[in-house]
Structure 1
Amino acid sequence: MHIEKNILDNVNIWLTPTFDEKTQTEIKEMMTSSPKELEESFYKNLEFGTGGMRGVMGVGTNRINKYTLGKNTQGISDYMKTAFPGEELKVVIAYDCRHNSDTLAKVVADVFSANGIKVYLFSELRPTPELSFALKYLNCHAGIVLTASHNPPEYNGYKVYWQDGGQLVPPQDGEIIQVIEALTYDQINFKANENLIEYIDAKIDEAFVKSTIENASFDTPAEAKDNLNIVYTSLHGTSIKSIPDVLSKAGYSNVNIVPEQAIPDGNFPTVKSPNPEEPEALTMALALAEKLNADIVVGTDPDADRLGVAVRDNDGKMVLLNGNQTMVLMTAFLLEQWKKAGKITGTEFIGSTIVSTPMMLELASAYGIECKVGLTGFKWIAKMIKDFPNQKFIGGGEESFGFMVGDAVRDKDAVGATLLICEIAAQAKANGSSLYKELQNLYVDHGFYKEYLISLTKKGIEGANEIKQMMIDLREKPLKEINGQRVIMVEDYDNSTARNLFTDEIEELKIPKSNVLIYYLEDGTKICARPSGTEPKIKFYFSVNEPLDSIENAKEVENNLDQKIKNIIAEMQLQ
């Protein structure tokens, strides 16, 4: 097959003595046996997306390996020296259960130390939220976690956190990328200064657990905790290092761990995908819940920043909640707790994203506070905390099963969120209610909101081009009517415009640019199209709503909303 000259130029660079013999051998083998794989490995550089850098492990510029991560780390080292002149620079590094995470973490530590930067390196795998906590606890300038979140086993990734404990955001991200791109591979300093690398574990663990319990506990009686029957699974990931300890020390004694999934394993042998967004991932936990007649199931992804929750419905059947539903439940509970404590003054805020449920705006309005809405990715919610120091952050979430309680951790945190959802469930059960009934009560008070997500996977170069064309078509040929409802507004975050299709008036969007389109229909329906920043997918988000006058009518209203979503998907020819 024909390979473009720019790809061959990249390949030839990697065949120079700057790269080790093993790497060069692998490339030569690919040249003869797998030219297609060679092309995929070198046709571009891996880029920072909504969750940092994430990709398939292997040799090449478009892969996760010691050289691509080494180059990132060298660039960040150089940037830190200019950003914090004269300071004793410190970073903290964590990693998850994935293949090569421990060795890649050591490579990253080596490069930082080679550049004279003090490194705190976790001695074993740890949850991503603990990395965010540790960064602030140790007064570091930056933090790195080696993780590919819930991606398949062949992936790994590199998330960068800054001084506030949140992920990298503008302007630092763009400035750092410029520094990285200006480097050549022979400028990476891999010669570790072991004297600058300090291994950390128990002391940070204890502080993280203590902070989590302080932030996510709300005076639940001991008897209510004892009566809550919990099934928990770590899905072979890192939360096993924290969640059992947190729940135990918070007073929850009836915690049943799925034993087959309790051992960290980068192969994720018992699931197709270690993603709690996928119902299949919680199959074993749900089976155990039925066996033990559990009240609640909680499952977390490999790096413990997302959680999936299942609860019993009004008929006693276990049902999975989506990320919008868990976010609404946790936010409403926090707001009510703050109100009871007399802590709401009107200067507080909650955080959400442009693709999440509009019900968050209704909750904020009901409690007289602000709901700040940012781009997809928890780094934008963390940035809100940094940008508005005079406003107190209560909590916030996004539709992709992430939530953050308070500001001790500056990223989505399945450890704190697990304790919080157990607090809500325990109190509801003690009061003769349930999580499911509490959610229905919220729908009666604020309207029944139903969301749905479709992800279309388009791999490789051809897939990237197909996704690009789909977004072009949606922009250049905007839909005027969907399911019998007129489109009243189109928000295009790529050019920062909101266009009213009735009046043709255009307003400027104040949120940073992003490749996202949102359609608003006259009946309150919201449809969003967005290419993923970390996976070869284009995602379509649907939100519909109707008033609900009583819980008795919830099923009928939900059926209406489900049918509306099906009609929209069929009309847009997405399935």
Structure 2
Amino acid sequence: MHIEQQLLDKVNIWLNSPVFDSETQEKIKEMMTSSPKELEDSFYKNLEFGTGGMRGIMGVGTNRINKYTLGKNTQGISDYLKKSFPGEALKVAIAYDCRHNSDTLAKVVADLFSANGIKVFLFSDMRPTPELSFTVKHLECHAGIVLTASHNPPEYNGYKVYWQDGGQLVPPQDHEIIQTIEALQYDQIRFEANNDLIEYIDTAVDEAFINSAIENGSFNTSASAKENLKIVFTSLHGTSIKLVPDVLEKAGYTNVAIVKEQAEPNGDFPTVKSPNPEEPEALTMALALAEKTGADIVIGTDPDSDRLGVAVRNAEGQLVLLNGNQTMVLMTHFLLEQWKKQGRITGTEFIGSTIVSTPMMLELADVYGIECKVGLTGFKWIAKMIKDFPQQKFIGGGEESFGFMAGDAVRDKDAVTATLLVCEIAAQAKANGSSLYEELLQMYVDFGFYKEHLISITKKGIDGANEIKQMMSDLRNNPLEEINGERVIFVEDYQNSTTRNMFTGETGTLDIPKSNVLIYYLEDGSKICARPSGTEPKIKFYFSVNARIESLDEIAAAEEFLNAKIENIITGMNLS
């Protein structure tokens, strides 16, 4: 295989500079002779920040997670912090998850910050990502870092950056930091630690976070209702085992069965194909335990405990998995109802969602007389809403990818607090002779039956990236005029910040940051979104359809109708 000169130039920097250790250089030499394709994939680009931070496969090279790529990032952030907060005593907090090398990479990052004269609060053991977001504000830090690759496969790791408000980086900081990082040379990285500036943190912060989770996730559920709710919980080998059982116990939930085989943190995630609660297979063992124990609800969280999957009993008593949109609207509706009962809704409050999530959130906001702010994919945009609109009170919000945030103590999706919140809803429903499932069905009658579906198409490597690019180009430059017999009436192009009425040709401007997203709106109210993933080699298609129903008796027929509509749209777009 021929290796391009541009690629060789990048490789030679790593081979010839004394900055890189001998082990790294030996691995590069080995790839040059035995795995040139792997060498190309390791160096053909630099890892970049996406919607969920920076994630990548661990290994050597500019396109890999290693001490040098993370070191360059950390040095750049150190320089940027000094520029942004001149004369201040800088502080950062660092957490890490259960993945291989997360602890050692976290220590590398801590060493680098300390080498730059920055005070570091480093967790002494793995912790959930939402606790890091909380800690940034709790300890009045200027920034925070968590080493995690969320639910990606075991060979991945990642690096999320948080700012003063506890939210992930957003413009302009993200672009300015990237520019600072890209301007650096590897020999400018300061690896020598100043251990006097590194302070280990653990139980005191844990207690503060647990108390915050209970404060934001509890709503006057009776002790008997809590005791009567039978819960099965699995941490899927991740960090939530550190806190979720304690939160539930302290909140009064005593009837909790934990999937023991998945309770031990393990970066290989040995009992699942993917540690992602979005995937039904990931909850197989939890569902089996629930059947054995007669549980009312099953909850599973991903490795860094920011997403949660939920299964509940349907009308026939069978356990069914809810999708992220369903859990989001259930939790949002419950919060709105509780705030209304407490007389806290004045019209200046808001909920948050994303452009690829269910439009049902807009219906909820309208009925309760508050605003639903809709942003790009990723919780950093919901956190930005809270920061940008301090005169409005944030109630809660989420996105379709199984994330939710209740209150503003944490500025990222938070499966710890959300787990407690969904138990509150289930416990109160059961005490009232209902169930979480029945509450959802009644919402469909009250607000409209919205049904969503997601397709993810994986395209790996350089060729895959080009395929995804071409698919988006075709949809953008030659927009479909009709899908499934329904005319396309409107197209939103977030990359070009434009809207287009397909009937009149009239165009408009989107007042939202640019992103490579396209949304098609059909004449019957259906919505189709195309978006390349910011963290994985995938292109995602989101489908939302809806129907109005008058009673619960119409649910089955409406669901059959909406399922058929989704299938026909997928076929019409040649995605099946």
User: What TM-score do the two structures reach when normalised by structure 1?
Assistant: 1.00
Per-residue CA shift, 1:321-351, capped at 9, x if unaligned?
0000000000000000000000000000000
Q: For residue 262 of structure 1, what is the aligned residue in structure 2?
A: 263
Q: How does 1:441-480 map to 2 (within 5 A)?
A: 441-480=442-481
Distance 1:34 1:255 in 2: 49
Q: For residue 7 of structure 1, what is the aligned residue in structure 2?
A: 7
Distance 2:484 2:575 in 1: 14
- 1:207 equivalent to 2:187? Answer no
Distance 1:200 1:428 in 2: 39
User: 1:27 Cα shift?
Assistant: 0.4
Q: Which amino acid aligns with 2:464?
A: G
Identify the range of structure 1 (451-460 vs 476-485) with the bigger mean alpha-carbon deviation.
476-485
Distance 2:191 2:284 in 1: 44
User: 1:3 Cα shift?
Assistant: 1.1
Distance 1:373 1:480 in 2: 26
Q: Which amino acid aligns with 1:153?
A: P
Q: For residue 538 of structure 2, what is the aligned residue in structure 1?
A: 537
User: 1:573 Cα shift?
Assistant: 1.1
- For the residue of structure 1 that corresponds to 2:350, the secondary structure is strand
Q: For residue 406 of structure 2, what is the aligned residue in structure 1?
A: 405
User: 1:548 Cα shift?
Assistant: 1.5
Q: How does 1:497-508 map to 2 (within 5 A)?
A: 497-508=498-509
Per-residue CA shift, 1:343-385, capped at 9, x if unaligned?
0000000000000000000000000000000000000000000
Per-residue CA shift, 1:173-206, capped at 9, x if unaligned?
0100000000000100000000000000000000
- 1:323 equivalent to 2:330? Answer no
Distance 1:107 1:329 in 2: 41
Distance 1:401 1:14 in 2: 40
Q: For residue 38 of structure 2, what is the aligned residue in structure 1?
A: 37
Distance 1:560 1:283 in 2: 29
- 1:101 equivalent to 2:109? Answer no
Q: How does 1:514-533 map to 2 (within 5 A)?
A: 514-533=515-534
Per-residue CA shift, 1:210-260, capped at 9, x if unaligned?
010011100000000000000000000000001000000000000000000
User: 1:6 Cα shift?
Assistant: 1.1
- 1:492 equivalent to 2:493? Answer yes
Q: For residue 369 of structure 2, what is the aligned residue in structure 1?
A: 368
- Displaced runs of 4 or more, over 6 A: none
Distance 1:152 1:561 in 2: 33
- For the residue of structure 2 that corresponds to 1:110, the secondary structure is helix
- 1:189 equivalent to 2:187? Answer no
Q: Which amino acid aligns with 1:330?
A: M
Q: Which amino acid aligns with 2:423?
A: C
Q: For residue 304 of structure 2, what is the aligned residue in structure 1?
A: 303
Q: Which amino acid aligns with 2:466?
A: N
Per-residue CA shift, 1:506-559, capped at 9, x if unaligned?
111001000000000011000000000000000000000001211122111011
Q: Which amino acid aligns with 2:8?
A: L
- For the residue of structure 2 that corresponds to 1:23, the secondary structure is helix
Distance 2:119 2:502 in 1: 55
Q: For residue 92 of structure 2, what is the aligned residue in structure 1?
A: 91
Distance 1:370 1:489 in 2: 23
Q: For residue 396 of structure 2, what is the aligned residue in structure 1?
A: 395
- For the residue of structure 2 that corresponds to 1:175, the secondary structure is helix
- For the residue of structure 2 that corresponds to 1:235, the secondary structure is coil
Distance 1:298 1:348 in 2: 29
- For the residue of structure 2 that corresponds to 1:48, the secondary structure is coil
- For the residue of structure 2 that corresponds to 1:14, the secondary structure is helix
Q: Which amino acid aligns with 1:91?
A: V
Q: Which amino acid aligns with 1:129?
A: P
- For the residue of structure 1 that corresponds to 2:15, the secondary structure is coil
Distance 2:29 2:182 in 1: 25
Distance 2:489 2:232 in 1: 45
Q: Which amino acid aligns with 2:276?
A: N
Distance 1:117 1:34 in 2: 40
Distance 2:19 2:254 in 1: 55
Q: How does 1:114-513 map to 2 (within 5 A)?
A: 114-513=115-514
Distance 2:142 2:112 in 1: 16
Q: Which amino acid aligns with 2:116?
A: N
Identify the range of structure 1 (137-146 vs 546-555) with the bigger mean alpha-carbon deviation.
546-555
Mark the runs of 5 or more structure 1 residues left unpaired by the alignment: none
Q: Which amino acid aligns with 1:280?
A: E
Distance 1:433 1:466 in 2: 48
User: 1:4 Cα shift?
Assistant: 1.1
- For the residue of structure 2 that corresponds to 1:247, the secondary structure is helix
Q: Which amino acid aligns with 2:13?
A: I
- For the residue of structure 1 that corresponds to 2:145, the secondary structure is strand
User: 1:139 Cα shift?
Assistant: 0.3
Distance 1:387 1:66 in 2: 35
Distance 1:418 1:18 in 2: 45
- For the residue of structure 1 that corresponds to 2:422, the secondary structure is helix
Distance 2:58 2:176 in 1: 26
Mark the runs of 5 or more structure 2 residues left unpaired by the alignment: none
User: 1:318 Cα shift?
Assistant: 0.3
User: 1:31 Cα shift?
Assistant: 0.7
User: 1:66 Cα shift?
Assistant: 0.1
Per-residue CA shift, 1:31-64, capped at 9, x if unaligned?
1111100000000000100011000000000000
- For the residue of structure 1 that corresponds to 2:56, the secondary structure is strand
Q: Which amino acid aligns with 1:412?
A: K
Distance 1:270 1:356 in 2: 30
Distance 1:553 1:292 in 2: 32
- For the residue of structure 2 that corresponds to 1:15, the secondary structure is helix
Per-residue CA shift, 1:426-466, capped at 9, x if unaligned?
00000000000000110000100000000000000000000
User: What TM-score do the two structures reach when normalised by structure 2?
Assistant: 1.00
Distance 1:438 1:46 in 2: 44
